[in-house]
Structure 1
Amino acid sequence: MSSDSVVLPTGGPIVVGFGGAAVDFLATVSAFPRPDDKIRSTGLKVEGGGNVGNALTSAARLGLKPRIISKVANDFQGRAVLKELEEDGVDTTFFVVSKEGSSPFSYIIVDSQTKTRTCIFTAGYPPLIPEDLSRGSLLSALDGASVVYFDARMHETALFIAREAFSMNIPILVDSERPREGLDELLTMTDYLVCSQRFPQAWTMETSIPRALVSILLRLPKLKFVIVTLGENGCIMLEKCVDAENPQIAEIDVDNSFESLSRKKDDSIVMPTCIASSLAKFRGEGVGTVCGRLYVGTAERIPPSEVIDTTGAGDAFVGAVMYSICNNFSPEKMLPFASCVAAANCKALGARSGLPYRRDPCLASFLE
């Protein structure tokens, strides 16, 4: 993409992201190969990837001013990563560029039949360590930030940055795919959590996702909400509220509430929607209670012929959540908005080609 085709954000809120930025080599195939098969690709694309690189690109196209902290080598791939981010309006001033080594990259096989993708990641070398970042540079990166985002990788450096952001009272957003080393400490400083379908039960050992969400909010007193992305089944969110001592608020079983909200979904509606509970004390048997609201978000119903590649859909969703936090969207607006951004990204090959700009007609009803 050439820089003259991009409208760069000029006055939007500043967000900072730390984590992976890489190159993706995407090959589409008619069907995923069996062991020892030799097959031909039906398409090939090379573009930027990595969770934080993708999420900040999403945020930039929506109108935020992202700054990225990451590391590449001074090789062809690393220079391409920087150029692509800069052309999309992501500030790469705080990137660490190693004179030697290699930049991170992924091989991604996209199955055109099942609409699934398989990722094979190769980490860059040398890795980013806290000593790579001076405190002065870090303070400059965090200056004026509305949110700091982490993809929960490179835990030692993530914690180094998070502790500084925490001391500056900057809200922290974490995207977690699975339990990782150092994640528990990072989560104690976290204000907003977005996670994969597998994470809540893996982290809490609870028997259902709704019960796990209650457990997460009880374990992490600073957390304001947790969102679980469910792919084509939408998402679920539990938001903590502060009226826990009000005797007028009913106590209800969280699994029952989730089932009740899910039954209200209207599958005939194409665009994403959000169904919200009343304020309640959500109970998980043997877990405890959390005062808050439960939300069930639906995904956009995309015709199968229009689904090209789900790579980066979760990162697109996170970028939209960042935008929503910075612009004080209600959950009823945030969840459909983020789902709409994620759906747009599924209509093109790669993690970034389909990311919508704020002027995209599909976003008009949210950004008017």
Structure 2
Amino acid sequence: MASSDMESLPQHRIVQLGCGAASVDFLAAVASYPKPDDKIRSTSLKVEGGGNAGNALTCAARLGLNPRLISKARLIYTLSQAFIHFDRLLSWTLYVVSKDGNSPFTYVIVDNETKTRTCIHTPGYPPLIPDELSRSELLSALDGARLVYFDGRLHETAIVVAQEAARKNIPILIDAERKREGLDDLLLLASYAVCSKKFPQAWTEAPSVPSALVSMLLRLPKIKFVIVTMGEDGCIMLERSTEGECTLLSFASKGQKAPASEEKDVESLLESLKQNKDDNIAIPTCYASPLTKIRSNGIGTVSGRLFVGTAEKIPPPELVDTTGAGDAFIGAVLYGRCNVNMDACALSAAAGCRALGARSGLPHRTDPRLAAFLH
């Protein structure tokens, strides 16, 4: 981060802690994805920091938060170089250094023809275990934190951190990308969850995404909202109401309250919101239902609101690489939960798609496209 960008950040930035993967991405862009046994050349090559937690915290830092990180690596030259840029954004970092094993890294093949990316990930080994995180380090990491984020990795250590955060009443956000060992225990402690498109149905076995969101709120009583990201189709969010009011203060206009006795079918409610979308609007837009009782047949009913958010329409010549778009979205959610404004989520994700790699295109809070959404 350039010094001018550092100077633009708020002096008293909100502290947020992350626990999870920080790794190295080896990105090769190719004209088209190779066929079996092909030999092709890359059109461009980049090595940079990666990992869900590392990417999301980088995004949050550029927007103005003061992130901390708990992770583990075997510090080789490439890894240390990839972290240099990131470390300048951190107020507190615990890298448990392993003398043996390997650091996590990912080969990413970016297909210029289809605008898709294929990731081949090698997890770090040996993994971070709770004994490597002392009590004093844990308390130091949590000191002053307004939110704790987990990407679902390093699950044994993550649950120790999450349990302490819960004891301190610090809200917890979970990245539910796919089923992982220990993820269920983290979700039971979570205040918020951001899911991949496939996760809600895979986890709940519900027949559709909206019904799966209802099921998640019923199965996870502490959850205040669940968001499912849908790529170029935007996102869907189900928010639980608390004592007649919804917990999210600024994602869209508050909308009108529906009578407490009224129930709406979640499938029908989703379709009605989709009908409000204007395809001529290029910037991300959010459409919210009234506060009501939302029913999924055969699953149950929750009180809350359903949201449909559109993605930014990126002109084809500007779309470079979707690597890390979900991490950028989560980074902006972290900012939004700490600042009560989540309108920059889709814009941050889209900005990251305009450059090769997960971090190069992440916006700074000085980006004029974000000016109307950051406070």
Classify the TM-score, shorter chain: over 0.9
Counterpart of 2:201 in structure 1 is 201
Does residue 288 (structure 1) correspond to residue 300 (structure 2)? The answer is yes
CA distance in 1 between partners of 2:260 and 2:304 (Å)? 13
Counterpart of 1:62 in structure 2 is 63
Counterpart of 2:255 in structure 1 is none
**Deviation >4 Å, runs of 4+:** 243-247
Deviation at 1:277, TM superposition (A): 0.3
Deviation at 1:80, TM superposition (A): 2.1
CA distance in 1 between partners of 2:73 and 2:5 (Å)? 24
CA contact (8 A) 1:174 1:194 kept: yes
CA distance in 1 between partners of 2:215 and 2:143 (Å)? 33
CA contact (8 A) 1:249 1:279 kept: no
Cα displacement string for residues 19-42 of structure 1 (whole angstroms, at most 9, x for unaligned residues): 000010000011101111111111
Query: AA paired with 2:356?
Result: L
CA distance in 1 between partners of 2:337 and 2:243 (Å)? 22
TM-score, normalised relative to structure 1: 0.95
Counterpart of 1:311 in structure 2 is 323
Query: AA paired with 1:82?
Result: F
Deviation at 1:155, TM superposition (A): 1.3
The 5 A counterparts of 1:1-368 are 4=3, 6-7=5-6, 9=9, 10-87=11-88, 89-243=89-243, 248-329=260-341, 334=342, 336-367=343-374
Query: AA paired with 1:343?
Result: A
CA distance in 2 between partners of 1:93 and 1:242 (Å)? 35
Query: AA paired with 1:339?
Result: A
Query: AA paired with 1:230?
Result: M
Query: AA paired with 1:361?
Result: P
Query: AA paired with 2:194?
Result: V
TM-score, normalised relative to structure 2: 0.93
Deviation at 1:99, TM superposition (A): 3.1
CA distance in 1 between partners of 2:5 and 2:103 (Å)? 26
CA distance in 2 between partners of 1:236 and 1:182 (Å)? 25
CA distance in 2 between partners of 1:353 and 1:157 (Å)? 29
CA distance in 2 between partners of 1:5 and 1:34 (Å)? 45
Deviation at 1:313, TM superposition (A): 0.4
Deviation at 1:125, TM superposition (A): 2.2
Query: AA paired with 1:320?
Result: A
Query: AA paired with 1:283?
Result: R
Secondary structure, in 3 states, of the residue corresponding to 2:369? helix
Q: What residue ranges of structure 1 are gaps of 5+ in the alignment? A: none
CA distance in 2 between partners of 1:249 and 1:136 (Å)? 50
CA contact (8 A) 1:244 1:281 kept: no
CA distance in 2 between partners of 1:11 and 1:152 (Å)? 29
CA distance in 2 between partners of 1:225 and 1:248 (Å)? 19
Secondary structure, in 3 states, of the residue corresponding to 1:214? helix
Comparing 29-38 with 119-128, which one deviates more in the overlay? 119-128
Deviation at 1:153, TM superposition (A): 1.2
CA distance in 2 between partners of 1:56 and 1:41 (Å)? 29
Secondary structure, in 3 states, of the residue corresponding to 1:93? strand
Query: AA paired with 1:354?
Result: G
Secondary structure, in 3 states, of the residue corresponding to 2:363? coil
Deviation at 1:101, TM superposition (A): 3.1
CA distance in 2 between partners of 1:96 and 1:154 (Å)? 12
Secondary structure, in 3 states, of the residue corresponding to 1:200? helix
Deviation at 1:166, TM superposition (A): 0.8
Comparing 77-86 with 101-110, which one deviates more in the overlay? 77-86
Cα displacement string for residues 103-140 of structure 1 (whole angstroms, at most 9, x for unaligned residues): 21110000001110000111222211111100110000
Deviation at 1:244, TM superposition (A): 6.9
Query: AA paired with 1:221?
Result: P
Comparing 229-238 with 71-80, which one deviates more in the overlay? 71-80
Secondary structure, in 3 states, of the residue corresponding to 1:210? helix
Cα displacement string for residues 170-215 of structure 1 (whole angstroms, at most 9, x for unaligned residues): 1000011111111111101000000000000000000110000000
CA distance in 2 between partners of 1:119 and 1:105 (Å)? 10
Query: AA paired with 1:345?
Result: G
CA contact (8 A) 2:49 2:79 kept: no
CA distance in 2 between partners of 1:12 and 1:249 (Å)? 43
Q: What residue ranges of structure 2 are gaps of 5+ in the alignment? A: 246-257
Secondary structure, in 3 states, of the residue corresponding to 1:236? strand
Secondary structure, in 3 states, of the residue corresponding to 1:70? strand
Query: AA paired with 1:225?
Result: F
Deviation at 1:247, TM superposition (A): 6.3
CA distance in 2 between partners of 1:13 and 1:44 (Å)? 35
Deviation at 1:86, TM superposition (A): 1.3
Percent identity among equivalent residues?
60
CA contact (8 A) 1:82 1:92 kept: no
CA contact (8 A) 1:85 1:92 kept: no
Query: AA paired with 1:13?
Result: I
